[in-house]
Structures are given as C-alpha cells and as structure tokens.
Amino acid sequence: MTESLVPASLVTASRNPESLAAESPEPAAPSGRTALITGATSGIGAEYARQLASGGYALILVARDAERLAASAAAIGRRHGCSVETIAADLATDAGVDQVVARLAEGRDRSDRFVDLLVNNAGFGTKGSLVAGDGVAQEAMVRLHVLAVHRLSDAALRPMVARARGAIITVSSVASYLTSPGNVNYCATKAYQRMAMEALAREVSGRGVYVQAFCPGFTRTEFHARAALTTDPIPRVLWMEAETAVAISLAALAARRPTTVIPGFLNRAIVTLLGLLPRWLLSRGTRPYESTRAAGGAPSA
Ligand SMILES: NC(=O)c1ccc[n+]([C@@H]2O[C@H](COP(=O)([O-])OP(=O)(O)OC[C@H]3O[C@@H](n4cnc5c(N)ncnc54)[C@H](OP(=O)(O)O)[C@@H]3O)[C@@H](O)[C@H]2O)c1
C-alpha cells in the first residue's frame, strides 16, 4: 500500500478546518517531505503553504513579488520552524517556468531535492470581453494556466513516477464547468486544468502518484480586487474562506481520493446543475449575468 503523503497532524487539522483558525504556537514535526506551491504569497496558495507547513512539510514558494515572497517565507519559517526556499519567477514567461522546472528536475537524481507535492495554484482573472480587452493579459493567462501547469506537472511527475510516490494538485475552478462571455479564456484555461488532471490521474493510476483537480467556487482572496472585479452581485452564501477550501483539498490528498475535488455542498450542487441543464437553457438563464460580465461588471471564480 502507498504511504500517506500527509502526516497525522495535518490530517487532523484538515478534517477540522475551524481548528486552523487559531495558529498553533508549536512548530510541527518535520515530515521529511517537500511541497512546491506556485502563487504561494496570497489567498489559496498562502493557505496551502500555512497548512502544509503546519503538517511538517518543507516548502518551496513561488511567486513574482520577491519582497513579499521573502516576507512570507520568513513568517512561515519562524512560526513552523520548517525549511522554506523561495523562487521569484513569473510563470507566464518561459524563463520563469524554466527556473521552477530546473528545481523540480533536481529530484530525479537527488532524493534530498525530491519534491513530493506540486501545487499548481498561481492564477488570475481578467475583466471585460476578449476583443475589447488587454491581449497581453489574455496571452499571459493562457501561458500561466496552461503552459506553466503542463511544464511544471511534467517536470514534477517524472521523478515521482520513478520513485512511485508523490502528488500533484492543480487549482482549477467551478468556472471550468462553464463557458461564459466576458470570461472566455478563464473558463477555457480552467477547463484545461481540470481535464488534464483528470486524464493524468488515470494515466498514472497504480503508479503511486495521486493527482487532484481542485475546483473551488467563490473564495475570499485578493483575486477579485486584483482584477478590479466587483463582488456585489455574488450572494454571501456562495463565498468560502480559503482556509476551509484548502483544508478540504488537503483532506482529499490525505485520503488520496477523489481526483476532482469541489469544496462545499453549494458548489457541488451548482456543478451538478450545470451538467444536467441543456446548453440552450443554461445560456438563456445566465444571459443577464453574462452580459454584465462581457461589460466587465461581474466576477469570475
Ligand atoms: N478566489 C476565487 O474565487 C477562486 C475561485 C476558483 C479558483 N481560483 C483559483 O485559485 C488560484 C489562486 O487564486 P487566489 O484566489 O488565491 O488569488 P490571489 O489571492 O490573487 O493569489 C494569486 C497568487 O498567484 C501569484 N501569481 C499571479 N500571477 C503569477 C505569475 N504570472 N507567476 C507567478 N505567480 C503568480 C500571486 O503572486 P505575485 O503577484 O507576487 O506573482 C499570488 O501569490 C488561481 O488559479 C485562481 O484561478 C480562485
């Protein structure tokens, strides 16, 4: 049987998300495992970093803002006593992805450089229609959500398969189940992430590697403010804290199932409904909402 990737302390925390709110003053016992998290300085990625560090993982944090990265690493290292490496890299560029690929590839020959868990989390949203919008941002989105995820997963997977252990989590979205004017590339790239992970999970089945497509709905992070999206039209009941969402993802990592993780009953109900309704009815029902999106008014998740 494959060894669990998550230490007992983390499993307990993941099953009780509320217990994560009060930070433990005690450093976690090192698990001997390393997690590389992209987009680790804010929101969902920062929460993966905190919860994995509290479970005894050593961390490699990746984001663009080097100063914020150093501050995050110092805070986590102080609090949990774990080793924290940082890589300041723009994953929408070839050079940025090359840096992280090189670090992941070191695990092929050196067990002390092996990365047990890759979390493909870095991502962003945009506002407005494709034709009227910023072409540079749209291309960066495709590069970050698709090309970087493909290249990092490939680089991480080779040493994992060779050692018959490891895990990849890619943070997709409930939006991966939608096609939406005003959100053309976001929905399409999130669908790529979910579908690629679902297929990859089947491809590596029985080889000791767990793959997860994590599909949160609306989550309180910096995501919407960064894209200058208004959150007013979104009912409060649809929002989830990043801490709760990540705890659900990590509980699935501990159990090594399922492949597709949709946190929260309401998000699962929405996805079920999206699968059941015929497309013509779906687009008719969501047209008023989509027209605000196309005008740049409403947020994506
Ligand atoms: N919040 C939601 O409602 C929601 C719902 C479903 C799915 N998601 C997904 O969750 C993931 C995390 O988003 P979040 O909500 O936590 O957003 P967030 O708070 O804005 O955090 C985004 C993180 O990604 C990093 N990042 C952005 N562009 C990058 C690039 N080109 N290269 C490297 N790092 C980059 C940012 O740091 P730097 O700016 O320093 O690079 C930051 O650490 C995204 O993939 C998003 O699509 C979010």
Residue nearest to atom 17 of ligand 1 (CA): 223
Say which DSSP state 81 is in: -
Global confidence as pTM: 0.91
| Mean per-residue pLDDT of the chain | 88
Please tell me the predicted confidence (pLDDT) of residue 293: 53
- Ligand 1 pocket, Cβ-based, cut-off 6 angstroms: 38-45, 63-65, 68, 90-92, 121-124, 144, 171, 173, 216, 218-219, 221-223, 226, 301
- Whether 177 is catalytic: no
Specify the higher pLDDT residue, 128 or 286.
128
Probe residue for ligand 1, chosen from 41, 44, 193 as the CB with the greatest number of ligand atoms within 8 Å:
44
* Catalytic choice (48, 57, 186, 210): 186
Q: Domains in the chain, start-ordered, CATH in brackets? A: 8-294 (3.40.50.720)
Q: Which atom of ligand 1 is nearest to the CA of 225?
A: 20
CA angle 277, 279, 280 (to 5 degrees): 105
Please tell me the predicted confidence (pLDDT) of residue 90: 98
Maximal C-alpha separation, the chain: 55
Please tell me the predicted confidence (pLDDT) of residue 180: 86
3-class secondary structure, 236: helix
Please tell me the predicted confidence (pLDDT) of residue 75: 97
Please tell me the predicted confidence (pLDDT) of residue 219: 97
Tell whether omega for the bond before 258 is within 30 degrees of 0, i.e. cis. Answer: yes
Please tell me the predicted confidence (pLDDT) of residue 2: 38
Main-chain dihedrals φ then ψ at residue 150, nearest 5 degrees: -60, -50
Provide, rounded to the nearest whole percent, the portion of the chain with pLDDT above 90: 74
CA distances from 287 to 67, 185, 234, 283 (A): 42, 18, 15, 6
Is residue 142 a contact partner of residue 189, using CB atoms and an 8 Å limit?
yes
**Residue tagged 């047209």 (tokens):** 287
Give the gyration radius of the chain's Cα atoms. 19
Q: Is the pLDDT of residue 231 over 90?
A: no
Q: Is the pLDDT of residue 288 over 80?
A: no
Q: Which atom of ligand 1 is nearest to the CA of 172?
A: 7
Question: What gap in Å lies between CA 292 and CA 160, rounded to an integer?
Answer: 44
pLDDT tens profile 15-57: 333 333 334 444 777 879 999 999 999 999 999 999 999 999 9
Picking from 214, 149, 120, the residue whose alpha carbon sits closest to that of residue 176 is 214
